[in-house]
Amino acid sequence: MNPAVHLDGITKRFPGVVANDDVDLEIERGSVHALLGENGAGKTTLMNVLYGLYRPTEGTVVVDGEPRSFASPRDAIDAGIGMIHQHFMLVDPMTVWENVVLGNEPRTWGGLRVDEAAAREAVVELSERYGFDVDPDARIADVSVGVQQRVEILKALYRGADVLIMDEPTAVLTPQEVEELYDVFEELTDQGKTIIFISHKLGEALSAADEITVLRDGVKVGTVASADVTREELAEMMVGREVLMEPATTPREPGERVLEVTDLHVDDDRGVEAVSGITFELRGGEVFGIAGVDGNGQSQLAEAITGMREPASGSVDYLGEPMAGVSRRGHIDRGMAFVPEDRHERGLVMSYDLVQNGILGSQHDPPFASGGRIDWEASTEHAESVIEAYDVRPPNPDADAEDFSGGNQQKFIVGREFERDPDLVVATHPTRGVDIGSTEFLHDRLLELRAEGKAVLLISSKLDEVQGLSDRLAVIHEGEFSGVVDPATVTEEEIGLLMAGESLADETVSGAAIHDALDDGLGGSGADGADDVEAGSDRETAADGEVDA
C-alpha cells in the first residue's frame, strides 16, 4: 500500500535562507506522525509545502502514490490534505456549523439560501462519527479553546481531508484538553485518517505519535518509532549535542539587600484584590522563585514591583529607596529589568524592527540617545549584539518583530532585558515558548547574572524551572505566599499542596487535591500522563523542552 504522504527530496529556499534541505518523509496511512524540532528547524515550512502554501524549490509531494503540484491550499484540500493552524482560523461571532461549512455551504433555492438543515446535519454526523462533543449552534466566541480546535478538525474533515496537519496542537490547550486531543487522534486514526503534528515538545511526541521525524536546521536528522527511543536520544537529535538535564547551580553567599516588599496589597484591573499582603526580601546574587498556578496574583505582583501598577497598600523598597510614586521610567533608570509575561502586549512593538525594539526602555539614554535624537548606528549595533548573543533567528535586525517566531521573540526580549546591566531582574515566564536548546542557554544566562551578584525574581509556572534555578522558592496561592521553602529539599507533592493553598503541616489533604493542583498548574502539558514517575505533573527538566503551560 502506498504511504499516505511521501515528501520526496523537498528543498525550500527563501532569499538567503535554506529552510528545508532535501527532506525525505514517508507517512503511513492511519498513523500519527510527529515532526519534531527546535524553533526555526523548518517544520512549519515543510508542512506549508505539503499544504500548498509554499511551492518547493526542489522535490515532489506525493499523495497516495500520485505526484502532486499544489498551486494553493485549495489544491491540497482537493487532494485530501487539511491543515489546522496554531492560531485558529475561525470567525468568532459565527456558530460552529457556519464555521465548519464556510466557503463550501450547501445551498438551496437556486443558490439563494444556505441549506441550514443540511449543513447542521453534516456537522452533527461528522461530530458523532468521531466522538466529538460539539454543539453545532454554539457561537465560537462562547466555546473553549479545546472545542474550537475540534471545530477546526471538523472543518478539515468536512472538506474531505484524509491527512490532517496540526501545527503545535497542544500549545493552547489545558492538560485535560491535551488528553482529550489524544483521544481524538486515536478515534481519527482508527477510522483511517492520518495525522501529522508539528511539535517541539519531546513528551508530547513520545506519548502521542507512532513515529517521530526530527528536523534540525532544515535537515532531516532521522525518523524513529516512538517506542524505540528515549527522551535523551530525542533531545540529542533535536539539539545536535548532549543536553544537560539539570541546570548547575552552586551555593552562593547572598549580598546586599536589593528588594524589600512589605505587606503588599495590589488590585487587578477590575478592582478585585489580587495580591493580599505579600512580604519578602531579595538580595544580590540570589534567585527568588515564585511558583504557582497562573492567575494567583503573580502578574499583579510583578507589575507592582516594576512600577506598572500602583499598589493598594504596602511598600516596595528598592536599593534602600521607597518606590512609591516613582514612574515606570524611574524604575528602568534605577536598573530594574523586566521580562513581561505577555510578549506581544508588553514585551515588543510588533510592527517595529528589532533595532527599535532593542532600545525600548533605553531610548532616552546614551549611547542610544544623543542631543534629543536617536543614534541608529549604536542602536543597530546593540540589536545585532543581542541577536548574536541570544541566538535569535533569523539574525536580521531590520526584520519586524512580528516576523519572528514566538520563541525567537522571547529570546530577544530576554536578551534586551538581561543586557541592561540591571541590579534586579524581574522575569515572568522567561522561557515560555522557547525550545530546549535556547531554554538551557537562557537558564545559564540567568545563573550568570546571579553569579555577577544581581538579584533575580523568577516567576514561572514551570515547576522544574523555578525549582532548579531558585535559591529560595515561594509558592503563591490566591495572592498570598502559602509557603517559602528550600527548593533543594522540598518534594513535588509538598509544592503541590502549597499550590492548592494547603499548609504543609495539614495532614487532612486528600490525594485528589494534590493531583488537581499538579495537573492545573505545574506548567505541564499533561503529555506524560502515562509516565508513572511523572504522573500528572510536568517534572521534565530543561532538557525536555516542555515549554508551555
CA 392 – CA 349 distance, rounded (Å)? 17
Phi, psi of 258 (to 5 degrees): -100, -45
Whether omega for the bond prior to residue 67 falls within 30 degrees of 0, making it cis, is no
Q: Which segments within 64-153 are labelled E, that is strand?
A: 66-68, 81-84, 107-108, 113-114
Stretch that binds other proteins, among 4-12, 97-105, 318-326, 481-489 (CB under 8 A): 97-105
User: Which CB atom, from 140 or from 549, has the smaller least distance to other proteins?
Assistant: 140
Site membership for other proteins, residue 149 (CB under 8 A): no
**117 in Cβ contact with 109 (< 8 Å):** no
Helix (H) or strand (E) holding 4: none
Residue from 15, 16, 103, 251 in contact with other proteins (CB under 8 A): 103
Residue from 3, 73, 254, 277 in contact with other proteins (CB under 8 A): 73
Residue from 24, 74, 244, 313 in contact with other proteins (CB under 8 A): 74
Site membership for other proteins, residue 364 (CB under 8 A): no
Give the interface size with other proteins as a residue count (CB under 8 A). Answer: 26
The dihedral formed by the CA atoms of 340, 491, 454 and 339, expressed in degrees to the nearest 10: -10
User: Which CB atom, from 100 or from 215, has the smaller least distance to other proteins?
Assistant: 100
Tell me, residue by residue from 111 to 140, as one string, x for binding to other proteins by CB under 8 A and - for no binding: xxxx--------------------------
Tell me, residue by residue from 35 to 54, as one string, x for binding to other proteins by CB under 8 A and - for no binding: ------------------xx
Residue from 21, 61, 80, 98 in contact with other proteins (CB under 8 A): 98
**To the nearest whole angstrom, how small is the minimum distance from the Cβ of residue 14 to other proteins?**
10
For 161, left (φ over 0), alpha (ψ -120 to 50), or beta?
Answer: beta
User: Which CB atom, from 104 or from 327, has the smaller least distance to other proteins?
Assistant: 104
Residue 392 vs residues 222, 298, 387, 399, 449: alpha-carbon distances, Å: 25, 28, 5, 12, 20
CA 292 – CA 411 distance, rounded (Å)? 23
Stretch that binds other proteins, among 18-26, 98-106, 164-172, 233-241 (CB under 8 A): 98-106
CA 415 – CA 409 distance, rounded (Å)? 10
Site membership for other proteins, residue 231 (CB under 8 A): no
Site membership for other proteins, residue 69 (CB under 8 A): no
**To the nearest whole angstrom, how small is the minimum distance from the Cβ of residue 401 to other proteins?**
18
Residue 359 vs residues 343, 375, 416: alpha-carbon distances, Å: 15, 10, 8
Residues that bind other proteins (CB under 8 A): 53-54, 72-74, 77, 85, 89-94, 98-99, 102-105, 107, 111-114, 155, 159
